[in-house]
Amino acid sequence: MEGQLQLKFPFPSDRNDRFENFVTDHRNAETARIAQLFPHAPPNQPQSLVLHGPAGSGKTHLLSAIGAVVTQTHGDGSALYLDGRKFAEKVDTSQAYEDLKKYMRTYESASYLAVDGLEAIEQNPEAQDQVFHLYNALRQSGGKFAASVRTPPSRWRFAEWLSTRLLWGLVVEIQPVGDERRVDVLKKMASDIRLYLPENAARWLITHLPRDPAYQLEALTRIDKLSLTTGRKVSIPLIKQALEYVNAG
């Protein structure tokens, strides 16, 4: 789904990420509760949130769900999204500093800004400087800032001044759900691309697919394409055929 997330991105997204459809168990329920309370936090409580956890743990989902709540309250365009990797590329390819600053100003007045995948800027001092500036600008204007990163604070490789800012607010770990709920996560991923995934097919897939979300999404996309082009319903034989193409690629 990453390819559908644009550099500038008003919430809610076409991922349909909501708190209501976030799959929880004892590993992530408390983090989900904290994220759900975050958009309603009064000024005397932390106005920034950093979620850290491995790929596939639901960080993007929660960032987007917060954006959906903010959008309902403040209207379209009040919640914005930055993909960390694409943002780093934008900083590197900007021809002039004034052009970059003009671009950055579009984010400074957001009611809520999510920066997803901060690990992508760890080796990019200029991008870190721009995130630092955005954090300060949002706080001065009364907006909320949230971010995701794969590593815990003890392993961050940001400049000290950026790490310090990120640690001012809430910093919360999130873990992937256990095996008993992975079927629900996979079915949610399928529904995001409008693919109906039968229960038995989803259970078969979780025992044959790696946990990597990008690989899972590629597999689901191939399954959907094969089902549409052949007019066949999703079944385990069809899935096996589709996965042959994924593995070949």
Q: What is the mean pLDDT of residues 17-28?
A: 94
User: Which of the listed ranges 63-77, 87-101, 161-175, 210-224 does the model predict with the highest average pLDDT?
Assistant: 161-175
| Cα–Cα distance, 187 to 198 (Å, whole number) | 8
Predicted confidence band of residue 75 (pLDDT cuts 50, 70, 90):
confident
Q: Are 19 and 32 in contact (CB under 8 A)?
A: yes
The reported pLDDT for the residue numbered 103 is: 83
Tens-place pLDDT, residues 117-146? 999 999 999 999 999 999 999 999 999 999
Q: Within 13 Å of residue 1, how many CA atoms lie on the same side as its CB?
A: 21
The reported pLDDT for the residue numbered 181 is: 93
Q: What is the mean pLDDT of residues 201-207?
A: 95
Kindly report, as residue ranges, where domains of CATH 1.10.8.60 are found in the chain: 179-248
- Per CATH, domain 179-248 is 1.10.10.60: no
Q: What is the mean pLDDT of residues 70-85?
A: 90
| Cα–Cα distance, 218 to 223 (Å, whole number) | 9
Nearest CA to 113 among 155, 147, 149? 147
The reported pLDDT for the residue numbered 106 is: 85
The reported pLDDT for the residue numbered 249 is: 52
Kindly report, as residue ranges, where domains of CATH 3.40.50.300 are found in the chain: 2-173
**Using alpha carbons only, what angle is made at residue 186 by residues 180 and 192, rounded to the nearest 5 degrees?**
145
Q: Are 38 and 170 in contact (CB under 8 A)?
A: yes
Q: Which CATH architecture has domain 2-173?
A: 3-Layer(aba) Sandwich (3.40)
The answer, yes or no, to whether residue 242 has pLDDT greater than 60, is: yes
Top-confidence residue, 245 or 238: 238
The reported pLDDT for the residue numbered 246 is: 61
The answer, yes or no, to whether residue 4 has pLDDT greater than 50, is: no
The answer, yes or no, to whether residue 175 has pLDDT greater than 90, is: yes
Predicted confidence band of residue 1 (pLDDT cuts 50, 70, 90):
very low
The answer, yes or no, to whether residue 2 has pLDDT greater than 50, is: no
| Cα–Cα distance, 34 to 32 (Å, whole number) | 5
Q: Tell me the backbone φ, ψ of residue 115, rounded to 5 degrees.
A: -115, 110
| Cα–Cα distance, 188 to 177 (Å, whole number) | 13
